[in-house]
Chain A
Amino acid sequence: MKTNPMTEQSLPAKRPLSDWLRWNVAKLVVAPTFALIIFFVYGFIAWTGYVSFTKSKMLPTYSFEGVYQYVRLWKMSTWHVAMENLLVFGGLFILIAIVLGCLLAVALDQRVRAEGLLRTVYLYPMAISFIITGTAWKWILNPGLGLEKMFHSWGWESFSFDWLINSDMAIYTLVIAAVWQSSGFVMALFLAALRGVDSEIIKAAYLDGASLSRIYLVIILPTLRPVFLSSFFILAHMAVKSFDLVVALTGGGPGNSSIMPANFMYEMTFRRNQIGLGAASAMMMLATVMAIVIPYLYSELRERKHG
């Protein structure tokens, strides 16, 4: 065999490179996505933030005009409706989905028969897009088409369920559809956590004579605090983002009574050529998310320091 003198010579020089690679391969792999996220997420947040301080209409302009768009935004009654709807929808949706998901998980945790099947049944709505959910519920809730008509044709003439076409109640139909879609997912989170609870503790509590409900309330659920938190954050950002469900289920109506901030933003930016105003409303939505996330991050970081 003929050996190449070049290889032998270059070997010592190669080692530092492979060492360097070993230490930095993780960074190298992450770098492109990191760069993309910096640009396409944070870069565009910054851009939107800047545009919200301009008088951009059809095309973005870049002369700074101060808080003009924000003043306009908060004078618009439609925006107030959208923000109130976000509060009502977000609050009820998060609360009901967590309570329902938690109850379902506890019920399934009782070693019921066909648990696998039930789990799938409850979890599957999550696999459906909000557009489908919205359309299906639109048919179910439409008085001339769905539930109400069904009960009428069965002879229950006085039955009335007209939330979908009632300006005051339409926002609650969104809650119904969103809870239907998401509570199974919350259930899955809780079920996984429940399975992780040390059975020794539960056995010990049994021996001490604690009832099942007491064991759940006092011992198990408090250990699930992280699951409550993560469900809350997942559901909260779903609430702030909700757009497609509104489009499919109520179309923002009757009138504009069930419009949400994301729909307002889309309408202003893409239909009414009001890019500046749309950007301002987008920043307000970001601020809403921040108002939830920052206290959470703060408490998490503080705990870690203490821990």
Chain B
Amino acid sequence: MKILTHKLTVTTALVSTLMFAAVTAHAQPQAEVLHYWTSGGEAKAVQALKEDFEANGGKWIDAPVAGGGGDAQAAVLRSRVLSGNPPAAVQIKGPNIHEWAATGALGDLNAVGAAEGWDNVLPPLLQDIVKYDGKYVAVPVNIHRVDWIWANPEVLAKVDAEPPRTWDEFNAIADKLLAAGITPLAHGGQPWQDATIFETVALGLGGAEFFNKAFVEKDPETLKSDTMKKVFDQMRKMRGYVDADFPGRDWNLATGMVMRGEAAMQIMGDWAKGEFVAAGKKPGVDFLCLSTPSNGGYILNSDSFAMFKVTSADDNAGQELLARLILGEKFQETFNLYKGSIPARMGVATDKFDECAVKSMIDLQASSESGELVGSVAHEIAAAGAIRGAVLDVVTEHFNSDMTSEAAVERLAEAIELAE
């Protein structure tokens, strides 16, 4: 057995060093890839990865599971793992990676990671997410920024508004817009969208330290603190800035409101940019991308592929090839141009990206150095599903009722405790 594993390591090492030579004699790299990117720009992005993989001699087995934002895929994955036949690479994100790693189902990519120098190119926060027990178990494909304000410059000009730098300035602009009869904030009343606004406010008013203490360490004192009450106070104000018909609206419809000038701003991750671009709008001209008020903060959301333990040499070779390609500069550029996000590795050439993406890259670097970079709660990076769900429940209940901030913080602490 030991000899066999040794042999395997040798083969895989060979494969990874002779990547661009013909390696099919030893093992043909193959990978079954389970993902839920089945529509629009996402499907194109996956296609790019597939072509790259095949051009390097790999055999790609596509296993898309449409629908449900990954719920359907999770069910498939669960049954595949339970039956002892996991796919090689699976699109999983955030703490779910650690949960799977804790069951011992994930492989080890440290060899590729060391050869490719991932430690030097990935932001430390992202390394924490894709590493378990010091071992790389997953590879990130992109970084989405969550704390964006998408604004219509024409509408803002009607009230002579400058981009807000603090939440007080934001409120002042919004009040002016209200007085002018314009809806300040385009918003869709779905729990995850409520929580998206909530986390940008939390980072803006409390800073990264507060944010992490509350949602990563789940410290009850911080959850019930005065700062958290102020966050809920601001949420109550935000409730006054949305139009009456917001409940249940999808996020892209809210983006459309900004585009058509029916509302001034939307707080949403940079997938909203795709809607503007698809409608032929130019960043900086037809729409503005402003970061939400914070002290140089950045809320990160990232998709990744986790590599499950596979036994055959072909599969192992496939996984290593896939991991190398995914974090390679070429793929990072093509993929993220399609997807509207920015590369997961730092230092990729910026010339092909639009000004919003470039701003995102610069801010990412800066916040990573200043320690103001945090993982998203609403998008399941900083907190696992159960905790995220608890936050969503309370935030959305507060947003859609007349609950006081005092009651909301008590409820938040209680819900998070129950969720663990």
Residues of A within 8 A of B (CB): 57-59, 72, 75-78, 138, 142-145, 162, 164-165, 167, 170, 250-257, 267-268, 270-274
Compute how far the CA of A142 lies from the CA of B248 in the bound complex, rounded to whole angstroms. 10
CB distance from B185 to the nearest CB of A (A): 16
- Give the docked Cα–Cα distance between A300 and B382 (Å): 55
The answer to whether residues A273 and B99 also contact, given A165-B248, A257-B400, A267-B389 and a CB cut-off of 8 A, is yes
Q: Which residues of chain A come closer than 8 Å to B399, judged between CB atoms? A: 255
| CA–CA, A72 and B386, complex, Å | 13
* B393 touches A (CB below 8 Å): yes
Chain A residues, CB < 8 A from B243: 144
In Å, the complex CA distance between A251 and B250 comes to: 11
Pairwise interchain contact B397-A255, C-beta atoms closer than 8 A? yes
Complex partner residue of A167 from B96, B245, B385, B401, CB under 8 angstroms: B401
B364-417 at interface with A (beta carbon < 8 Å):
384-386, 388-389, 393, 396-397, 399-401, 411, 415
Please give, as numbers and ranges, the residues of chain B lying within 8 Å of A253 by CB-CB distance. Answer: 189-191, 247-248, 396, 400
A264 CB, min distance to chain B CBs, angstroms: 10
A-B contact pairs, 6 of them (CB 8 A): A72-B418, A138-B248, A253-B248, A267-B389, A270-B74, A271-B71
List 13 extra interface pairs beyond A77-B415, A255-B191, CB under 8 A.
A58-B78, A59-B103, A76-B415, A77-B397, A143-B245, A144-B245, A165-B248, A167-B401, A252-B191, A253-B248, A257-B401, A271-B389, A273-B386
The CA-CA distance from A263 to B109 in the complex, in Å, is 38
A76 and B418 in contact, given A254-B248, A270-B74, A273-B386 (Cβ under 8 angstroms): yes
**Is B285's beta carbon under 8 Å from chain A?**
no
Complex formed: what's the CA distance from A75 to B96 in Å?
A: 25
Note all chain A residues with C-beta closer than 8 A to B418. Answer: 72, 75-76
Distance between B420 CB and nearest chain A CB, rounded to angstroms: 10
Contacts of B74 in A (CB 8 A): 270
Given contacts A58-B99, A256-B393, A267-B389, whether A164 and B248 have CB atoms under 8 Å apart is yes
Chain B 299-329, CB-CB to A under 8 Å as 1, else 0, gives 0000000000000000000000000000000
Residue of B103, B189, B247, B397 with most chain A CB atoms under a 10 A cut-off: B247
Pairwise interchain contact B397-A59, C-beta atoms closer than 8 A:
no
Evaluate contact between B385 and A256: CB separation under 8 angstroms: no
A78 touches B393 (CB 8 A): yes
Residues of B close to A162: CB separation below 8 A:
244
B157 interface residue (CB < 8 Å to A): no
Sorted nearest first, the 10 A-B pairs with minimum C-beta distance are A255-B400, A144-B245, A254-B247, A254-B400, A165-B247, A272-B385, A255-B396, A272-B389, A272-B386, A273-B385
CB distance from A72 to the nearest CB of B (A): 6
CA distance A240 to B100 in the complex (A): 33
Name the residue among B246, B248, B396 with the largest chain A CB count within 10 angstroms: B248
Q: Does B75 contact A (CB under 8 A)?
A: yes
Any A CB within 8 A of the CB of B25 = no
Set of chain B residues within 8 Å of A272, measured between Cβ atoms: 385-386, 388-389, 419
Whether B401 pairs with A255 at a CB distance below 8 angstroms is: yes
Which one of A58, A250, A268, A271 contacts B248 once the chains associate, using CB atoms below 8 Å?
A: A250
What total count of A-B pairs have CB within 8 Å? 92
Q: How far is the CA of A76 from the CA of B248 in the complex (A)?
A: 23
Bound CA span A267–B396, Å: 15
Pick the most buried of B71, B81, B245: most chain A CB atoms within 10 A of its CB: B245
A59 and B401 contact, Cβ closer than 8 Å, known pairs A143-B245, A164-B247, A255-B396: no
Collect the chain A residues with CB atoms within 8 Å of residue B400's CB: 167, 253-255, 257
Please, how many angstroms separate the alpha-carbon atoms of A143 and B385 in the complex? 33
Chain A residues with CB under 8 Å of B248's CB are 138, 164-165, 250-251, 253-254
A273 contacts which of B82, B189, B384, B396 (Cβ < 8 Å)?
B384
Chain B, residue nearest A144 (CB): B245
**Structural contact, B244 and A165, CB atoms closer than 8 A:** yes
State how many angstroms separate the Cβ of A163 from the closest Cβ of chain B. Answer: 11
Q: Which of A250, A267, A272 has the most CB atoms of chain B within a 10 A radius of its CB? A: A272
CB pair B71 A165 closer than 8 Å:
no
Q: A270–B190 contact, CB under 8 A?
A: no
Which of B96, B103, B189 touches A254 (beta carbons < 8 Å)? B189
Chain B positions within 8 Å of A76 at CB level: 415, 418
- The interface residues of chain A lying within 8 Å CB-to-CB of B191 are 252-253, 255-256
Chain A residue with minimal CB distance to B387?
A272
Report A149 CB to chain B, min CB distance, Å. 10
Contacts of B385 in A (CB 8 A): 271-274
**Shortest distance between the CB of B349 and any CB in chain A (Å):** 38
* Residue among B190, B386, B401, B415 having the largest count of chain A Cβ atoms under 10 Å: B386
Which residues in A have their C-beta under 8 angstroms from that of B100? Answer: 58
Residue of A nearest to B386 (CB): A272
Per-residue 0/1 for B246-270: is the Cβ within 8 Å of any A Cβ (1 yes, 0 no)? 1110000000000000000000000
With contact pairs A59-B103, A162-B244, A256-B396 given, residues A274 and B386 touching in the complex (Cβ less than 8 Å): yes
- Residue interface bits B218-249, CB-to-A below 8 A is 1, else 0: 00000000000000000000000001111110
The residue of chain A having its C-beta at the shortest distance from the C-beta of B399 within the complex is A255
Shortest CB–CB separation between residue B14 and chain A, in angstroms?
35
